[in-house]
Structure 1
Amino acid sequence: MPQETAASGGFGPHNADVSKLIEPSIRTALPHYLPLGVFPLILAAAAYGGWWLLPPFLFFAAATPLDRALGLDGRNMDPARAPGRRLIWHNLPVWCWAFLWPVTLVFGLWQILVASPFAIWENVILAIILTMEAQAVFIVGHELVHRRTPWERRWGEFLLASASYPQYATEHVYIHHAQVGTPHDVGSAPKGESFWSYFPKEIVSNLTNSWKMASQLLARRRLPVWHYSNPFWRYGVYIAFWYGLVFWMGGIWAVLVFVFLGFGCVFSMKISNYLQHYGLRRVLLPNGRWEKVAPRHSWSADWKFSNWMFFNMQRHADHHALASRPYPLLQITGADESPFLPGTYSDLMNIVLRPKRWFEKMDPLVDQWRKHFYPEIDDWSAYDSPVAAARPEHLSAIIEIFGSAPRLARWIERNPELLDNLKDPEFTDLDLPRGFMSDPEVESIARRGLARVYWTFEMSVEEMKGLIAEIPATDANDTAEVVRNWSNDKAFQIGMHVVRGNLSADEARTALSNLAEVSIATVLASVVADFVDRRGPVSEGGAAAILLGDLAGREAHPGVAADFLFVHDGPGDGGRLCALFLDKLTGLTQNSLLFSPVPHGTERCVVLPSSDLAEHCRSVGAARGPDLTRARCVFETGDSRIGGRFDEVRRDVLSEWGASTVAETAPDAEAELDAFLTRA
């Protein structure tokens, strides 16, 4: 594409002649010696201060205008014709930089912290210059930790330690490269994630995951985590050297300044990492594996001057396609194989920190990338969702949920831990694998039969009460929280069985109705137990909870309205109990997958004495007779049978309206199960 198109990102033929091959030689290596030119400038600035502080800034500022002036590169070196021994002239500038940087850093710190020949403003500017050059630590250190020779890898770690980040060597090589472009890799930002959200997660995961990986590598060799080959021993020595040196030079305040300088280096590196992979995802294949890493899974750029200055860092796509390839051999491909960044790194670093502008710039290019490379995928919401990053091992289920169950999708985004139920034997034992039988129809019957028997017959109300009674809880508040979490888990499992066709909608309503009844009864029983513990036995009278609406009709569904009628009898404790019932059930319905929230002071839940029951039933009107017919008592306590009295009042009111009560006859569970098994 024309150079202007390359600068704006996109897909299509790249304007540079990617077929032009160059040979390894002193001439082709010479431009990569340019980064060494900054060292005499920094040393002069550290030695003399004053106007000598200006040349390093001019050197750093030259990259963007020279990129514009020199344009794109487009030349490749044939790896088959460039064995390692022919790359000596290309390796030399990397080695020189790696050895010059520690010397320059120590001299600069000495001038600032020990010799102190300058004014404060000169020291500040010199510290900024050191920080700006230290950003290249991650370019050279990154190049070296990918090398095969041990001394290069160790020296790369030492360089990274000068930026307080040696564990990057483990995390980058063993985790980032293996998991790039997947939700497992925190370093691959999904579409819609701002840098400010990305940065802290990446910092934490880099440290914790590198330690876990080092431990796993030792465990594979059956070695303890404290074995001397654990790279964190080396990292500790490197860090101790740098911080010990800084402390010796300037004390604790110097250490704090050094921490800040390291933070600046890491911050800059994370910006680069963020923009190199933003929004690009590898696809999960039907066999459950990720597609192979390809150049299309990283953003590339190919500005000539930046290639010289930063050792081909911009050719990031090819680096991920073959991580062991040294920088001179990194290839630049056409835009049909790899997406191109819409500008130079400097251009993009200026907008990364402003999420709105970044999204406006990059999101259309991400969408274009998706249509270009994956035209068969219409919905990427599962890949972009934060829940994919929180539970990457469940991505196939997340894709399934986002495609067919929007309510469940919203819930797992807020509560990713629900996905852990997919590993619970209670779920896996019922979720038979697809294709386990040769006849699809028989397989479907078997899949549905197993889940149906369990959730509509075995998991009865009494069985659920027995299971939840085994979960310890200290008081009514704790019980409400325990029951809410337990019912969320069960409701999610039922929902997943519906998504996968293991349960019909009617069967799910039965299971959810049982679940709702048990949840309510358990919380109310804990309220009574708390009341008795604190105030003694319930005095004369009693209290009851009567279900209304869909809950009463056993037509529960996720987000069902929790409509109640709380009735108390006598002048005793019934009224207080009903108020407590309402309070705890309000807590139960908050953040619940099964119930819609009951706001405080709602009219959906009514508390009244039994003497007002008949008047209340008449006040609902004949038009709501079916609701009154379905209403049923789910819990009562005390020495008064309020539930029975409610039934009497209801019959009287319905008779006045000329309606006939509907007798709910429970089905013969054994007969239905026998009939089902016979049909199967």
Structure 2
Amino acid sequence: MKTMLRKIGFFTAFIIPALTVWGFYLGNLWNFLPIVFSFLLLPFIDQLLGTDTSNVPETNAKVVGEEFYYRFVTYVWTYFQVAFLVWGAYAVTSGKIDTAVEGIGFVISFSLVTGGIGITVAHELGHKKSALERFYGKLLLITVCYGHFYIEHNRGHHVAVATPADPATARKDEPFYHFWVRSVFKGYAHAWNLEKESLHRKQHSTWSVKNEMLWFAVLPVVFCGVLTFAFSYRAGHFVWQVPAFFFAQSFFAFTLLELVNYVEHYGIVRREIAPGKYERVNPLHSWNASHLISNFFLFQLQRHSDHHAYAHKRYQVLNHYDESPQLPFGYPTMIILALFPPVWFSLMNKRLAAWREDHATTFTRSSGVAS
């Protein structure tokens, strides 16, 4: 029974797009309904129901990890998100959004779907060996103009996480807004460098059709262009609302991703065991949050410590570690707090200091996890 409830739980992610559609048809300030749900009601439920620190038994982890059901949920989301974007283009050209306030509410609510959940699914799929899953992951990222994340995250962030070389690891006392600039722009530049190095090793030109960074730059424009043409043709005139909507939702979607990056790694630094060489990543090197409900919505992304230690593990078998640094709240609450640097520093710096003190004890001796 518990297993069945957990399986159903991962479909709760579809609540947010349902609220986005509902809010749109109700009109006016109802367009903010998904935002209120995600950042007011969901955190309340999260705290009310608390954390779930149970893990799939090791003897059963391989079987559960290979169950097609869990992949099916992510496949469904991929097709759904593409269709949802088509609906979004219809919504902004329907004439039902009358004011700028309504438009802002609709676009931010929409980005909770494409960024908060869509990029989470893309992240899950992008780590897998299956060519189909990786394709789906790239497709989702293209719908939010953030395809380079596939390269930078897998080949950059997971290698350099919790070191000064990683633009996606927030420094202690660094406000989110400063972090956003570095992570977005340096992350993009680093993805280009990684792709160029890979191409040159294979004796391909930087401007080869094999350069994924070129495709990641072109395909979002093509996707937006097709949507714009289709709805302009339908309307009989150019509909500027479609490209404005597409790029606006993309901006908020990847900003939400960067908020999550900020929360996941704030202040964590691996020990330098030799000049330029750092200890191996282990479950001590990411902030963890095993809150039951928000983990359903985010496909257990909040068990981020285990993900970084074992990047290819599927979301349904990620483990909770008591030894990992623990966030006081789930991601929805922490994201809001991160927008207010003084509040964030007041809350997190003392926890970071405690982590640094605990980190002086070798994690391997107490848990058997490789470091």
TM-score between both structures, scaled by the size of structure 1: 0.48
Which residue, 224, 228, 233 being the options, matches 2:209?
A: 228
Measured against aligned partners, the alpha-carbon deviations of 1:487-535 in whole angstroms (never above 9, x if no partner) come to xxxxxxxxxxxxxxxxxxxxxxxxxxxxxxxxxxxxxxxxxxxxxxxxx
Which residue, 321, 328, 345 being the options, matches 2:331?
A: 345
Kept in 2: contact 1:282–1:293 (CA 8 A):
yes
Question: CA separation in 2, counterparts of 1:110 and 1:298?
Answer: 40
Question: CA separation in 1, counterparts of 2:51 and 2:267?
Answer: 24
Specify the SS of the correspondent of 2:351: helix
2:222 is the alignment partner of 1:241: yes
2:178 is the alignment partner of 1:178: no
Which residue, 296, 303, 318 being the options, matches 1:308?
A: 296
C-alpha displacement of 1:287: 6.9
Kept in 1: contact 2:64–2:316 (CA 8 A):
no
C-alpha displacement of 1:369: 1.0
C-alpha displacement of 1:111: 2.1
Equivalent residue, structure 2, for 1:33 = 11
Specify the SS of the correspondent of 1:28: helix
C-alpha displacement of 1:117: 4.0
Kept in 2: contact 1:73–1:304 (CA 8 A):
yes
Equivalent residue, structure 2, for 1:159 = 140
Equivalent residue, structure 2, for 1:3 = none
TM-score between both structures, scaled by the size of structure 2: 0.86
Measured against aligned partners, the alpha-carbon deviations of 1:558-598 in whole angstroms (never above 9, x if no partner) come to xxxxxxxxxxxxxxxxxxxxxxxxxxxxxxxxxxxxxxxxx
C-alpha displacement of 1:47: 5.3
RMSD over equivalenced CA pairs, Å: 2.5
Which residue, 180, 187, 200 being the options, matches 2:181?
A: 200
Amino acid at match of 2:198: L
Amino acid at match of 2:95: S
Question: CA separation in 2, counterparts of 1:265 and 1:252?
Answer: 20
Kept in 1: contact 2:284–2:325 (CA 8 A):
yes
C-alpha displacement of 1:274: 0.9
2:63 is the alignment partner of 1:83: yes
2:80 is the alignment partner of 1:92: no
**Number of aligned pairs?**
351
C-alpha displacement of 1:289: 2.2
Measured against aligned partners, the alpha-carbon deviations of 1:641-679 in whole angstroms (never above 9, x if no partner) come to xxxxxxxxxxxxxxxxxxxxxxxxxxxxxxxxxxxxxxx
Kept in 2: contact 1:108–1:126 (CA 8 A):
no
The alpha-carbon distance between structure 1 residues 118 and 270, as it changes in their structure 2 partners (threshold 3 A), is closer
Which residue, 192, 197, 215 being the options, matches 1:211?
A: 192
2:244 is the alignment partner of 1:256: yes
Rg larger in 1 or in 2? 1
C-alpha displacement of 1:351: 2.4
Kept in 1: contact 2:111–2:249 (CA 8 A):
yes
The alpha-carbon distance between structure 1 residues 48 and 350, as it changes in their structure 2 partners (threshold 3 A), is closer
The alpha-carbon distance between structure 1 residues 50 and 278, as it changes in their structure 2 partners (threshold 3 A), is closer
Q: Which has the higher contact order (CA 8 A, sep 6+)?
A: 2
The alpha-carbon distance between structure 1 residues 122 and 252, as it changes in their structure 2 partners (threshold 3 A), is closer
The alpha-carbon distance between structure 1 residues 246 and 124, as it changes in their structure 2 partners (threshold 3 A), is farther
2:349 is the alignment partner of 1:363: yes
Kept in 2: contact 1:67–1:306 (CA 8 A):
yes
Matches within 5 A, 1:356-435: 356-374=342-360
Question: CA separation in 1, counterparts of 2:33 and 2:177?
Answer: 32
C-alpha displacement of 1:359: 1.7
Kept in 2: contact 1:301–1:315 (CA 8 A):
yes
Question: CA separation in 2, counterparts of 1:148 and 1:362?
Answer: 36
Which residue, 81, 86, 92 being the options, matches 1:101?
A: 81
The alpha-carbon distance between structure 1 residues 55 and 360, as it changes in their structure 2 partners (threshold 3 A), is closer
Kept in 2: contact 1:187–1:202 (CA 8 A):
yes
C-alpha displacement of 1:217: 1.0
Question: CA separation in 2, counterparts of 1:228 and 1:237?
Answer: 11
Amino acid at match of 1:66: I
The alpha-carbon distance between structure 1 residues 195 and 363, as it changes in their structure 2 partners (threshold 3 A), is same
Specify the SS of the correspondent of 1:197: helix
Question: CA separation in 1, counterparts of 2:70 and 2:298?
Answer: 13
C-alpha displacement of 1:39: 3.6
Question: CA separation in 1, counterparts of 2:293 and 2:170?
Answer: 27
Question: CA separation in 2, counterparts of 1:341 and 1:284?
Answer: 24
Q: Kindly, what percent of the aligned residue pairs are identical?
A: 25
C-alpha displacement of 1:149: 1.1
Which residue, 41, 44, 47 being the options, matches 1:65?
A: 44
Question: CA separation in 1, counterparts of 2:168 and 2:89?
Answer: 32
Question: CA separation in 2, counterparts of 1:179 and 1:300?
Answer: 19
Question: CA separation in 1, counterparts of 2:26 and 2:353?
Answer: 52
Specify the SS of the correspondent of 1:77: coil
C-alpha displacement of 1:187: 0.9
Question: CA separation in 2, counterparts of 1:369 and 1:56?
Answer: 34
Kept in 2: contact 1:43–1:108 (CA 8 A):
no
The alpha-carbon distance between structure 1 residues 47 and 288, as it changes in their structure 2 partners (threshold 3 A), is closer
Kept in 2: contact 1:142–1:156 (CA 8 A):
yes
Question: CA separation in 1, counterparts of 2:27 and 2:76?
Answer: 25
Question: Which stretch has the larger CA shift, 46-55 or 129-138?
Answer: 46-55
The alpha-carbon distance between structure 1 residues 367 and 45, as it changes in their structure 2 partners (threshold 3 A), is closer
The alpha-carbon distance between structure 1 residues 235 and 54, as it changes in their structure 2 partners (threshold 3 A), is closer
Note the residue ranges of structure 2 that are not aligned, 5 or more in a row: 232-237, 363-371
